[in-house]
Structure 1
């Protein structure tokens, strides 16, 4: 808002909901500017008063519309509003278009945690940013994510596309540790060991069957999931495609904790025979049996629960494979 002659004495700008826009008149009285960028695809009403050098006051009203973006980056996250997640939950935000102005994006995404936990983002490439605290969340923490990306130009002529708030809660603290050498999974809840489950994980040979070492997080509860060897690049052995019960996804590349209803019961706790997953004894049938070790573990698991694998002959899981960002130290996050 500007004046050709005289000085502005008062400027009121309101949005289409009637809310006044914060702003200030310049020191010389020649112009007014908003304190923050205006929203795109929006209408505004202006009422301005100005006085000339003789003190004559004039008032003028006008309205204008801001540009309507032709493209938006299509951001989407992995959070369900008012959902409950495990202590290892990482908020993942993916964009359908490459982001160039990363700093502007980060400045317009804020986290509000009930216990004051500080959250920081880390970019994996130019279309994905993950957010987490330095250490696992504390049980009971309520978290609200504030997205204010609608009017952010994330790349030339591409805007963020969304203004929204999403709230989630951190549930009980469940962390499981898989020891590939002893073939056992130790389950802790709220700091106490509650169960040790015999398992069978990735075979030592061939290499493509090795289980990953490192801290992983349940990113999806998939029930009976179809395991298809053709979707795993470089996987050796006889091709397969069949439903597997009680499947909890740990990585994008296809690592699961799941029911195994084809191996003999003597395998669990004694041999590693899987193609890289963590198998728990289950009953025959596409859906297995909820009363088996696999069924009970599945029923008691939520997205965000932590599963750590140690003593495998395999490689360390990469931080961008699923919600595995806990394997990147805070200094480099």
Structure 2
């Protein structure tokens, strides 16, 4: 026998032994050892499974986002969100067994009207790397809603300021919208929302803010469904600071207004309030807006042509229905402190054009949006809680009862 023939017979014997081992059982009855030789690797699409599928469109906000491998392990996964031309990495983690990646639960749902890219690298059982890149886009809503809010960002306000949102459409999912808005403060105090109808949501603490409090409003409204098919678009943070405490008490019967700063009496000013036919509301009101000069036309508030004054000085709005505390230059000086002659506003003596040394000018220069003005002893009802920022007229229990989330 030649040496080459002997080698061939030896090889046949080895393969025969292997085949015999594969075809039989071990001595203890167990299945034979499987032998798997490296073969052609799976395609990236087969090896790395990504949900949603590549090029998927209209993916809902609550759709799943996962990356998985059947064998081997994931080595790296990067998911990027592109929204309003801004790129942001989606936080997530690979599971301990290396077989899957999931987004961080704190990241929340997918953003609507956004594009996502997924880049994944996996290593199979033979240390062969494969990479896969996919993209998908999320649902683009046809209808959106926004909330117009007060106070203004970075403003300094009085201790009676109420955070108020007015939405541009009726809100059906009130709990979802209320949860998406948080109002926090330093020092910390509990702040609760209260709904007035379907399009207004106000926030306030139990008592007036403490002077020096710093308040942060966080709006996470983007992609929150407020009504069927209508989603929010706002994702922003607003801050404001609470200034000194100033609370003024108007006594309609005594024709006076006491101005107290940090609880101490600053001044007692003579006023004129609403005439017997047009009395001034009782109750706590909050300065909403301040104007050096403004026009007041009776036709805009139901008084027809009874008055139209183009240059009312030192005007501070107290209600949405038209109650102002303002300067008055047209009434006789002896009116203030003795007679109630207005159409429901509170008037302070002033000069035409607004004088800085008049009672109206003095008070205006010392006031802030958010200051409290309380009217007592008027022959009228208490101002409604939704007329201006009148929420302080509700008890805390009634205020909390108006929250959609308790």
Please confirm whether the aligned pair reaches a TM-score higher than 0.5, indicating the same fold.
Answer: yes
1:325 aligned onto 2:391: yes
Q: 2: distance between equivalents of 1:8 and 1:310?
A: 77
Contact between 1:15 and 1:21, CA under 8 Å: does it hold in 2? Answer: no
Match of 1:279 in 2: 347
Contact between 1:8 and 1:30, CA under 8 Å: does it hold in 2? Answer: no
Contact between 1:200 and 1:274, CA under 8 Å: does it hold in 2? Answer: yes
47 and 142 in structure 1: CA distance in 2 versus 1, 3 angstrom threshold:
same
1:305 aligned onto 2:371: yes
Equivalent of residue 248 in structure 1, options 291, 294, 316: 316
Match of 1:92 in 2: 164
97 and 196 in structure 1: CA distance in 2 versus 1, 3 angstrom threshold:
same
Q: 1: distance between equivalents of 2:235 and 2:172?
A: 19
Shift of 1:48: 4.2
- 1:96-175 equivalence runs, <5 A: 96-175=168-247
Match of 2:327 in 1: 259
User: Greater helix share, 1 or 2?
Assistant: 2
Contact between 1:24 and 1:34, CA under 8 Å: does it hold in 2? Answer: no
* Larger Rg computed on CA atoms: 2
- 1:175-254 equivalence runs, <5 A: 175-204=247-276, 206=277, 209-233=278-302, 235=303, 239-243=306-310, 244-254=312-322
The higher relative CO (CA closer than 8 Å, separation ≥ 6) is in: 1
Contact between 2:92 and 2:101, CA under 8 Å: does it hold in 1? Answer: no
Contact between 1:83 and 1:169, CA under 8 Å: does it hold in 2? Answer: yes
List gaps (5 residues or longer) in structure 1.
Answer: none
List gaps (5 residues or longer) in structure 2.
Answer: 1-50, 52-65, 400-406
Superposition TM-score, scaled by structure 1 size: 0.89
Q: How many correspondences in the alignment?
A: 326
Equivalent of residue 20 in structure 1, options 84, 90, 99: 90
51 and 32 in structure 1: CA distance in 2 versus 1, 3 angstrom threshold:
farther
Superposition TM-score, scaled by structure 2 size: 0.74
Contact between 1:49 and 1:57, CA under 8 Å: does it hold in 2? Answer: yes
